[in-house]
Amino acid sequence: MAAELPPQLQDQLAQLQTLQQQLTLTVQQRQQIEFQVKDAQRALEELETVAADAPVYRNVGGLLVRTPGREAVKKQVQDDVESLQVRLKGFEKQEARLKEKATELQSKVQAALKNMGSPPASRPASGRKSGT
């Protein structure tokens, strides 16, 4: 059937497929950032339960490193949350734009496919009207 489609429609279908792949990737990235935000927020909640003078360790690569104190770690984690939320907003905007473009293109493709199917069906109908 793809061989019967006009080149413009084939291009639109390829664009739609690319948009859908980009959308899938963007959704996955957004979900990863959301997970990181929730994880960092849980860390902040946990830091609230730790005594101010208790030793606090931070994961750096494959090591646990002792930090200068709870407040320093709390500040670092809050900064991490803020930057993650900025990235999250960017992914949400990108996702919305991709969804909008994909919806528009899908509508165009569906309309083109519908128009391709309509002329053969309308020709016999118009032929019957003129014959009666």
| Domains identified in the chain, total number | 1
Residue 8 falls within a domain, yes or no?
Answer: no
Nearest residue to 76 via CA among 56, 91, 95, 96: 56
Residue 54 falls within a domain, yes or no?
Answer: yes
pTM summary value: 0.75
Q: Amino acid letter at 25?
A: L
- Residue 60, classed as helix, strand or coil, is strand
Cβ-based neighbours of 34, under 8 Å, separated by 6 or more: 88
8 A C-beta contact, residue 57 and residue 66 = yes
Residue 38 falls within a domain, yes or no?
Answer: yes
| CATH number of domain containing 25 | 1.10.287.370
> Which pLDDT tens digit goes with each residue over 7-41?
899 999 999 999 999 999 999 999 999 999 999 99
Residue 12 falls within a domain, yes or no?
Answer: no
Residue 11 falls within a domain, yes or no?
Answer: no
Residue 45 falls within a domain, yes or no?
Answer: yes
CA distances from 71 to 41, 55, 78, 83, 98 (A): 15, 11, 10, 18, 40
Give the domain extent around 75. Answer: 20-107
